[in-house]
Structure 1
Amino acid sequence: MGNESAVRAGERRRYGQYCGLAACLDVIGERWTLLIVRELLIGPQRYNELLHDLPGIGTNLLAERLRRLTQQGVIRHHPRSNGKGPVYELTEFGEGLREPILGLARWGLNVAGSFDAEDEVRPQWGVLAVEALIRKDQIPEVDESYEFLVDGHVFHIAVRDGRISINREGTEEAALRISTDARTFVDIGAGRVSPFEAVATRRLNLEGDPDALTRCSRLLGLLPGRAS
């Protein structure tokens, strides 16, 4: 009862430890907070979009988490130019969470296990999953793009001059086009299914250069060997 009263009163709960990890958890350690940050790492979102893409969170709890993250300087909100209402986005300070969260996502794929019937999976989570899987020591030496269509959502990886960019759009110049469903995509990322097994069982469709598939698979750590 005491803890619930503190939360209702808006009292900030702290670990009270002078430690970087404890200080981090004071800001983002509460339930749902990291998942809100995950959504904003994918891109700016309106309140209703966040509510839709975080199944299970209550509207009051989402509002409270957004308020606290704004107070801590992790996110900000401002009007959208298209007039569809204000959006929430990460600040430069909040963007500093990208690499730690990608590391946690990579680690989590090893313990995720198989899907339960009630588990939610959203195609846009594939964008962050791809970013988490990228092996910087496996960047191809050729400039090319790989397009992903996951449950109707398009994004692509572009390799240019030894650098990687990820965009939530398609490209007409893709060397490889991959289409699948969100659950198959996660199964591949977790290593439960290889891209080639997914193709053989028709859970994944490919169009493009077979060599590009090999380079893309190595870039995402799905195949051993060196990209070329």
Structure 2
Amino acid sequence: MGREYGQFCGLAAGLDIIGERWTLLVVRELLIGPARFNGLLQNLPGIGPNLLTDRLRMLTERGVVKQSSVAGDGRARLYGLTEAGEELRFPVLGLARWGLSFLDSSDADGESRAEWGFLAVQAMIVRDEIPDVDDVYEFKVSDETFQIHVRDGEVFFERGAVDEPALTIECDAKTFIRVGAGMLSPFQAIATGDVRIKGEPDAVLRCSLMLGLV
């Protein structure tokens, strides 16, 4: 059975697929969006091309990842999640939320990407605090922009800028993660200028409550 656990258990069966080192981080990158091999390699420093090839092959064989051609480039392949792979979104976000509490200042020198903020904000949502007011919040994290849409008590996420958001938050990627991990309070970040907020005070409060920052 190779490295498989050989247990008649759903958790063990899941870990047979995603339990090896780097595998979930490959899934994390594809939860952000489809990517080419070189893009994945660049965004996962330390994995190495051979190991990335192995992980993508295994995930493809297991039906978690799919390949598609790239228009205008017959040799290139675009990797994305299948329906089964997309089902990992909420478990991965839950694990990311759990892991935030273990970050400390010694981790701050590690790699950080603005795109991870797109997933981090999804992981931070407190379902019981979703506003009953339809809002759009815009986040500008380093060189990435993404949005949270609140509609009819549900939350939706999109990348890119939005016209007339109720709230705009700007910061760099590491500051965003430090605030999410509780290493820096939103008030400290605003006072030092590391976080810049534009919007109505009521929208600021609604968004802060929804992200568990108050």
**TM-score of the aligned structures, taking structure 2 as reference length:** 0.95
Match of 1:41 among 27, 31, 39: 31
Partner residue, 1:79: 69
User: Separation in 1 of the partners of 2:45 and 2:163?
Assistant: 34
Q: Is residue 21 of structure 1 aligned with residue 35 of structure 2?
A: no
Q: How many residues align?
A: 213
User: Structure 2 unaligned runs (5+)?
Assistant: none
Question: More strand per residue: 1 or 2?
Answer: 2
User: Separation in 2 of the partners of 1:184 and 1:26?
Assistant: 35
User: Separation in 1 of the partners of 2:59 and 2:49?
Assistant: 15
Match of 2:128 among 137, 143, 148: 137
User: Structure 1 unaligned runs (5+)?
Assistant: 1-10, 224-228
Query: What do residues 89-117 of structure 1 show as CA deviations (whole Å, max 9, x unaligned)?
Result: 11111111111111111110111222446
User: Separation in 1 of the partners of 2:93 and 2:72?
Assistant: 31
Partner residue, 1:164: 155
Partner residue, 1:8: none
| Runs of 4+ that moved beyond 6 A | none
Pairwise CA distance, 1:191: 1.2
Where do 1:71-110 residues align within 5 Å? 71-81=61-71, 83=73, 85-110=76-101
- Structure 1 counterpart SS, 2:105: coil
User: Separation in 2 of the partners of 1:82 and 1:109?
Assistant: 41
Partner residue, 2:45: 55
Q: Which amino acid aligns with 1:179?
A: E
- Structure 2 counterpart SS, 1:79: strand
Pairwise CA distance, 1:210: 1.6
User: Separation in 1 of the partners of 2:210 and 2:51?
Assistant: 38
User: Separation in 2 of the partners of 1:86 and 1:60?
Assistant: 16
- Structure 1 counterpart SS, 2:139: strand
Pairwise CA distance, 1:83: 4.9
- Structure 2 counterpart SS, 1:142: coil
Cα distance change of structure 1 residues 36 and 143 upon mapping to structure 2, 3 Å threshold: same
Q: Which amino acid aligns with 2:8?
A: Y
Query: What do residues 33-60 of structure 1 show as CA deviations (whole Å, max 9, x unaligned)?
Result: 0000011111111111111111111011
User: Separation in 2 of the partners of 1:157 and 1:82?
Assistant: 33
Query: What do residues 142-161 of structure 1 show as CA deviations (whole Å, max 9, x unaligned)?
Result: 11111111111100101112
Higher mean C-alpha displacement, 195-204 vs 58-67: 195-204
